[in-house]
């Protein structure tokens, strides 16, 4: 059976060129980058090159890149780091401090659960609502900022519904009000153009395995002068902000993935957007009672998301998988639990509608043929599930 992978928001395959760039550091170039000898130097060079490639992709300076273990660590580091550096310390903090953070109801759990952990340590967190398309209003960010606010964290694009947030506008407001701005750009780096300057971002999270790199490596962009404390202490690697012997092969892979993205994005974006639109229109034509989720135009080129009424998402995924199609019903960690996605509830969907969510996220290897196959496979599955659903009003029909 030909298998079709349509879950690129969960993870992407490692691109052949990325794998090639990594291999020497798993084989003969195994040195510790901190070592003085030639083994160490060739490993250190690989890290320098990756740092430059990644910085170039996002419009940063190489010294503003901190390599981490991935998106979750970068998010946690940004939030904990700013909170610990700027939290009010009675009489000891000369520059502006406070304990107030602002984020949104639709962030990844790496941000939301970190916020909860910070609340237990004395932070006050405002969770901004979103509109029915999943967008945050910049005016609401402006209204929520007070003298106590130290950080605003708004994701660049949502991983479940693909909505692209007005981060440049939000970043500008933060800049004017002297508040640090962090954005989780894990879903956009390597997929759409990102420029940390145009975005007014002080901190930005990214993860290699979402852009055809390996798992377990990512980065935090930190604008020069943005004060954060480390999460991991030790030998003072990454300018003292993230100690630990570097994941050299992983970092080389991230660098190669950044170079690959820079070369391919301009052609891949319109190609994937066309496939996405064919997929969405085709689903809508073939299946009644569909709700598109996310914004019609402000969305990731590779992301198609819908809710299919009177169908249970998990059953749909299992049936699709049986037919060789790998899809998702929201975020990877939300699938597998019976709780409705916090993102779909935040855009105002009822629990039973949210349970029928389907996310199809495209990648480099997907073709027209894949779309045809999904459009042939999905409608009979939905018909079958609706026929046995007690909720379906047209019971018996498909
Ligand atoms: C995948 C993802 C993360 C987590 O990244 P990891 O590298 O898997 O830890 C964080 N935020 C968003 C939006 C994501 O899609």
Q: What is the mean pLDDT of residues 166-187?
A: 98
Tokens describing residue 318 = 């299992």
The pLDDT mean for the chain works out to 95
Instruction: Tell me the pLDDT tens digit for each residue of 348-378.
Output: 999 999 999 999 999 999 999 999 999 999 9
Predicted local confidence at residue 92, as pLDDT: 47
In the predicted model, what is the mean pLDDT of residues 74-99?
A: 81
pLDDT band at 111; cut points 50, 70, 90? very high
Say how far apart CA 310 and CA 287 lie, in whole Å: 12
* 246 shares a domain with 120: yes
Tokens of 331: 């975020």
CA of 178 to the centre of ligand 1 (A): 27
C-alpha 209 – ligand 1 centre gap (Å)? 9
Ligand 1 pocket mutation pick from 76, 108, 114, 134 by most atoms within 8 angstroms of CB: 108
Kindly state whether residue 190 falls inside one of the protein's structural domains: yes
Same domain as 246, residue 304 = no
Same domain? 350 vs 215: no
DSSP state of 13: P
Q: Are 168 and 52 members of one domain?
A: yes
**Averaged pLDDT, 76-84:** 98
Q: Region 25-29: what's the mean pLDDT?
A: 98
Instruction: Give tens-digit pLDDT for 223-270.
Output: 999 999 999 999 999 999 999 999 999 999 999 999 999 999 999 999
Q: Is the pLDDT of residue 309 over 80?
A: yes
SS (H, E, C) 183-252: EECCCCCCCCCCCCCCCCCCEEEEEHHHCCCCCCCEEEEECCCCCCCCCCCCCCCHHHCCCCCCCHHHHH
The last residue of one of the domains, among 260, 289, 324, is: 260
Active-site choice (115, 174, 307, 333): 333
The pLDDT score that the predictor gives to residue 332 is: 47
Same domain, 56 and 164: yes
- At residue 1, the pLDDT reads 85
In a shared domain, residues 315 and 374: yes
C-alpha 174 to ligand 1 mean position (Å): 24
What total of structural domains would you count in the chain? 2
Q: Which of 207, 209, 333 to mutate to test the pocket of ligand 1 (most atoms within 8 A of CB)?
A: 207
Contacts of 90 (CB under 8 A, 6+ apart): none
What residues make up the domain containing 138? 16-260
User: Does 396 reside within a domain?
Assistant: no
- Is the confidence at residue 21, as pLDDT, over 50? yes
Which pTM was predicted? Answer: 0.96
* Residue where a domain stops, chosen among 234, 260, 286: 260
Q: What is the pLDDT of residue 242?
A: 98
330-358: average pLDDT: 82
Regarding whether 89 and 152 lie in a shared domain, the answer is: yes
Mean pLDDT of 263-287: 98
> Among 88-97, 209-218, 333-342, 374-383, whose mean pLDDT is lowest?
88-97
Q: Looking at residue 243, which CATH number applies to its domain?
A: 3.40.640.10
Q: Is 333 a catalytic residue?
A: yes
* Domain identity same for 346 and 220: no
Q: Answer whether residue 304 shows pLDDT above 90.
A: yes
> For residue 105, is it within any domain?
yes
Last residue of a domain, one of 260, 286, 309: 260
Question: In this structure, what CATH number is given to the domain that contains residue 338?
Answer: 3.90.1150.10
- Secondary structure of residue 310 in the 3-state scheme: coil
Mean pLDDT on 86-111: 81
């Amino acid at each position: 059976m030909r298998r079709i992978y349509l879950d690129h928001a969960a993870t992407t395959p490692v691109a052949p060129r990325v794998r090639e760039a990594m291999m020497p550091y798993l084989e003969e170039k195994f040195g510790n980058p901190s070592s003085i000898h030639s083994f160490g130097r060739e490993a250190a060079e690989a890290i320098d090159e990756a740092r430059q490639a990644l910085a170039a992709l996002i419009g940063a300076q190489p010294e503003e890149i901190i390599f981490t273990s991935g998106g979750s660590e970068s998010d946690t580091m940004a939030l904990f780091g700013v909170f610990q550096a700027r939290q009010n310390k009675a009489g000891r903090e000369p520059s502006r401090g406070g304990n107030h953070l602002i984020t949104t109801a639709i962030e990844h759990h790496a941000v939301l659960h970190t916020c909860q952990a910070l609340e237990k340590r004395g932070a006050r967190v405002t969770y901004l609502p979103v509109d029915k398309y999943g967008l945050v209003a910049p005016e609401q960010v402006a209204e929520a900022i007070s003298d106590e606010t130290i950080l605003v964290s708004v994701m660049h694009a949502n991983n479940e519904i693909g909505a692209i947030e007005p981060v440049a506008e939000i970043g500008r407001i933060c800049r004017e009000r002297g508040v640090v701005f962090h954005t989780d750009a894990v879903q956009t780096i390597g997929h759409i153009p990102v420029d940390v300057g145009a975005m007014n971002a002080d901190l930005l999270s990214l993860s290699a395995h979402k852009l055809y790199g390996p798992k377990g490596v990512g980065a935090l962009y930190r604008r020069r002068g943005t004060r954060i404390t480390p999460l991991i202490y030790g030998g003072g690697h990454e300018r003292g902000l993230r100690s630990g012997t570097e994941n050299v092969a992983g970092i080389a892979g991230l660098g190669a993935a950044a170079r690959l993205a820079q070369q391919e994005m301009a052609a891949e974006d319109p190609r994937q957007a066309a496939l996405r639109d064919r997929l969405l229109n085709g689903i809508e034509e073939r299946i009644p009672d569909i709700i598109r989720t996310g914004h019609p135009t402000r969305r990731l080129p590779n992301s198609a998301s819908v809710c299919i009424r009177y169908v249970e998402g998990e059953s749909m995924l299992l049936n699709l998988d049986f037919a060789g199609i790998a899809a998702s019903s929201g975020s990877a960690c939300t699938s597998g639990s019976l709780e409705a996605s916090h993102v779909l509830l935040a855009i105002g969907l009822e629990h039973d509608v949210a349970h029928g969510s389907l996310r199809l996220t495209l990648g480099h290897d997907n073709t027209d043929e894949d779309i045809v196959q999904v459009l042939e496979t999905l409608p009979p599955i939905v018909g079958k599930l609706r026929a046995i659903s007690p909720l379906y009003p047209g019971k018996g029909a498909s």
